[in-house]
Amino acid sequence: QSALTQPASVSGSPGQSITIPCTGTNTDVGGSIHVSWYQQHPGKAPKLMIFAVSNRPSGVSNRFSGSKSGNTASLTISGLQAEDEAEYYCSSYTTINTRVVFGGGTKLTVL
């Protein structure tokens, strides 16, 4: 059981927007600015899409945005494209038993 909770799947049509929530506790998401999001295509390593809640690394499309409210962080993808279909994981700094915890992943299907 992952420390951070994500829905198993979400879907959307090309051009639409979707939001993926990531729920933790006040010992991780709620108490940290170090919340990140990763995109992973099958057989590939994860790719950093968002760090520090809402910052995009150089080269990541501005269609990807992040936010946080209380113990829940969110990744929003606007203008869905076929290549966005992938697994998405959130992560957070934590004060309990380890340094970084991950969510269980959300499979995004572009219809």
Q: Is the CB of 6 or the CB of 71 nearer to other proteins?
A: 6
Nearest C-alpha neighbor of 87 from the set 35, 17, 51, 37: 37
Residue 20's φ and ψ, nearest 5 degrees, are -110, 120
- What distance in Å separates the CA atoms of residue 32 and residue 39, rounded to the nearest whole number? 21
Contact status: 51 vs other proteins (CB under 8 A) = yes
Q: By CB under 8 A, what part of segment 6-35 binds other proteins?
A: 34
Contact status: 105 vs other proteins (CB under 8 A) = yes
Chosen residue from 20, 101, 108, 110 binding other proteins by CB under 8 A: 101
**Interface mask toward other proteins for 79-98; x: CB under 8 A:** ----------x-xxx---xx
Q: Sheet of 18-23: strands edge to edge?
A: 18-23, 72-77, 64-69
Pairing of strands 72-77, 35-40: unpaired
Per the CB < 8 A criterion, the answer to whether 67 and 3 are in contact is no
Q: Is the CB of 78 or the CB of 93 nearer to other proteins?
A: 93
Residues engaged in binding other proteins (CB under 8 A) = 2, 34, 36, 38, 45-48, 51-52, 55, 57, 89, 91-93, 97-105
